[in-house]
Amino acid sequence: MKNKTAAIVLSGCGVFDGSEIHEAVITLLNLQKLGAKTAFFAPDIPQSDTVNHADGSPESGVRNVLAESARIARGEISALSEFRAEDFDILVFPGGFGAAKNLSDFAFRGADMSVNAEVDAAVKAMVSAGKPVGFVCISPVIGAKSIGGGVKLTIGRDPQTAEAIRALGGEHVECAADGFVCDSERNVFSTPAYMLAADTVQIDRGVGAMLAAMLKSAK
């Protein structure tokens, strides 16, 4: 049996303006432990902002999402424009503010958000093919907007974000930090991670369980 293939979409490097590094690494590690072949992608676009992670202050200068994401991927990463759904069995989005600032503009516009065109196309291509798509932490807002139709998603228990998911066209399902939610009709998965989790152990349990279910669901 051939190994399943997994695409991981990053949004920069660092929780406040890019990918949440713990979530990205936990995603990679669990996929590899489960025997999946992995590939990283990110949109080749400017970051919306840059944040000093030591004190939370804004920094000047414009960084590139692909270049920043390459820090996590150890340079082994492709522009999201090169993603093809037929090459992968599953697609996963770690969280971090980059998902809400760079892959979408949820951080700035809330329920009036839009999704980056390449991100939107990747999600829709996988869903159309019946292939599993997984969302971690805040990234389920992308699924709500791109998929709609009452797709079942979770960000844990945060009432404000849960209401935004409903306004975007999703159905929010409460979930424990170490659990996940599956919309079996659409093959869409989500887990709260740092939207609810207190530590990386809880995140590892939730992400690991979600990814195992996704790979099992992949045809």
Could you list the active site residues?
137
| Per-residue tokens: 78 | 């492709």
Let me know if 198 is exposed, middle or buried by CB neighbors in 10 A (0-12, 13-18, 19+).
Answer: exposed
Helix (H), strand (E) counts: the chain:
8, 9
Q: Which amino acid is at 45?
A: I
Contact 39, 73 (CB under 8 A): no
Distance in angstroms (rounded) separating the CA atoms of residues 10 and 75: 13
Looking at residue 164, its amino acid is A
E-assigned strand segments in the chain? 5-9, 37-42, 77-79, 90-93, 133-136, 151-153, 170-172, 181-183, 188-191
Strands 5-9 and 37-42: parallel
Gap between the Cα atoms of 191 and 157, Å rounded: 11
